[in-house]
Amino acid sequence: MRKTILGTLLILAVCAAAAEKTKSAKPAKPKKPVSTQHSIDLGGTPLRYTATAGTLPLQDAKGATTAEIFFVAYTAVGGTGSAPRPVTFVFNGGPGAASVWLHLGALGPRRVVMTERGVTPPPPPGRVVDNQESWLPFTDLVFIDPVGTGYSRPAKGHKQSEFSGLEEDTRAVADFIRLYATRYRRWGSPKFLVGESYGTTRAENLAGYLQDRYGMNLNGIVLISPVLDFKTIRFGGDNDLPYVLFLPSYTATAWFHKRLAPELQKDLEATLRQAEAFASGSYAPALAQGSALPEGERKRIAQLLARYTGLGEDFVSRSNLRVSMGRFGKELLRSERRTVGRLDSRVVGIDRDAAGSRSEYDPAMPVVKGAFSAAFLAYVAGELGYRSDLSYETLGHVGRWKVPEGRYVNVAGSLRDAMTHNPHLKVLVACGHFDLATPFYAADYTIRHLGLDETLQGHVRLRTYEAGHMMYVNTPSRKKLATDAAAFYAWKP
């Protein structure tokens, strides 16, 4: 008994000492962001800039850290003029995508080397060169990796699910923007957001949240390959809208792969205007009639649908005049045993066989993933001097994404409210003709249905590019996007 008591007392003493040690030990401080100096030659004019890579902590009301968000910021050195330079906060989509795509694909001072058209992958390993189309000459840049992407992680004791949702993500990214503006003294700078894909959904929600929560009014938003109303891109059920809005992108894809009639192959823009007129003028009303559509009209619509998609009339008729993106991607080049990409329908893939109704994979993703991943890891550790043993999640695992109740997410109303409450806010919408993920006609439809007052309708610019979802991997489109962006930042609507 005595030995048992002594043993118990000894264990309690050891535990107490350990607890006291733990209590008195200070938590490890996050590594401070690393800043380095660089210069880029832009057409004979050198531009010096500071690059800062690191994390900022998100904190709760009690001051406890809930997550660390990784960022890379570029600030021009020795800018001219007395007015503060704009600062632009940039993020990609997914949800679950890190900002590496816009960072090293389009906006940053360094970019990944791709093939000229961006439809085939470059030889490994990926590498970077100076980006002559960087946006740094007209704005400072802050690339944000939301929690669960890149090097951003929840803090100890917190779960990814706390940040994986439309509203949860909005609050976290907004808090980062507020904190960055405070720590780096950018409240007095014109402020812009740039988002791609789901990042455009995030941007629209952020615009209103930043205004309402922090009183931070934005000067502009750039929406690259946007989706604001998910009803426009979700096939299935009784939702006929995507069939109508994807049609012009099917036409562009068939044009690229030379599957249209000779007269439609001559001029892409003219052909797309015809496809849009058919989509909204005849096709949409026909689908709206459902089974009441007269047989004669059904046959006429099937003939025109086949004409503008490059598919067989029998196939579109058997599809009940409703060809989903998955079916289209598999069917268009089936005779050649090839599929077309979702993110970029210029890219072709090879499935195990030519049967089935859906492609086995998106052939556009392998074109970019390996090159961007390797290039970023070498660049951030080498040139920027930031090192981490964490896996950099280019396409992170964010789990189930929580959205408000209801079938479709729609943040178009948030954009309308933000523009109405802040009439100085301007918007640039950039879309690729060969994007089968977020088609350009769906973006056009959403903008036309915002319900903006006529005094604000001119505050939105829509630009299209002969490329896919990541239009910037196509060299001519990257140059055009940079030119359009520079004009947008200088524009005073």
- DSSP track, 241-294: HHHHHHHHHHHHHHHHTT-S-GGGSS-HHHHHHHHHHHIIIIIHHHHHTGGGS-
Residues 410-444: pLDDT tens digits?
Answer: 999 999 999 999 999 999 999 999 999 999 999 99
Beta bridge partners of 57: 68
Low-confidence winner among 14-23, 129-138, 333-342, 473-482 (lowest mean pLDDT) = 14-23
User: Region 157-181: what's the mean pLDDT?
Assistant: 97
Q: How confident is the model at residue 396 (pLDDT cuts 50, 70, 90)?
A: confident
Q: Indicate the average pLDDT of the chain.
A: 92
Structural domain boundaries in the chain = 34-231+368-490, 236-323
User: Region 171-183: what's the mean pLDDT?
Assistant: 98
User: Region 206-225: what's the mean pLDDT?
Assistant: 97
pLDDT at position 405 = 74
Residues 246-281: pLDDT tens digits?
Answer: 999 999 999 999 999 999 999 999 999 999 999 999
- DSSP track, 197-238: THHHHHHHHHHHHIIIII----SEEEEES--SBGGGT--STT
Q: Which CATH number applies to 34-231+368-490?
A: 3.40.50.1820
Contacts of 403 (CB under 8 A, 6+ apart): 165, 166, 409
pLDDT over threshold 50, residue 15: no
User: Region 56-72: what's the mean pLDDT?
Assistant: 96
Name the more confident of 83 and 181: 181
Residues 399-414: pLDDT tens digits?
Answer: 999 988 777 999 999 9
Q: How confident is the model at residue 286 (pLDDT cuts 50, 70, 90)?
A: very high
Q: How confident is the model at residue 83 (pLDDT cuts 50, 70, 90)?
A: confident
* CA separation for the pair 251, 255 (Å, rounded): 6
- DSSP track, 27-94: PPPPPPPEEEEEEEEETTEEEEEEEEEEEEEEE-TTS-EEEEEEEEEEEESS-SSSSPPPEEEEE--T
pLDDT over threshold 60, residue 29: no
pLDDT over threshold 70, residue 81: no
**Which of helix, strand or coil describes residue 179?**
helix
Burial readout 332-354 (b: 16 or more C-beta within 10 A, e: otherwise): bbbeeebbbbbbbbbbbbebeee
Residues 100-135: pLDDT tens digits?
Answer: 999 999 999 999 999 999 999 999 999 999 999 999
pLDDT over threshold 80, residue 144: yes
| Residue from 140, 124, 39 nearest 383 by CA | 39
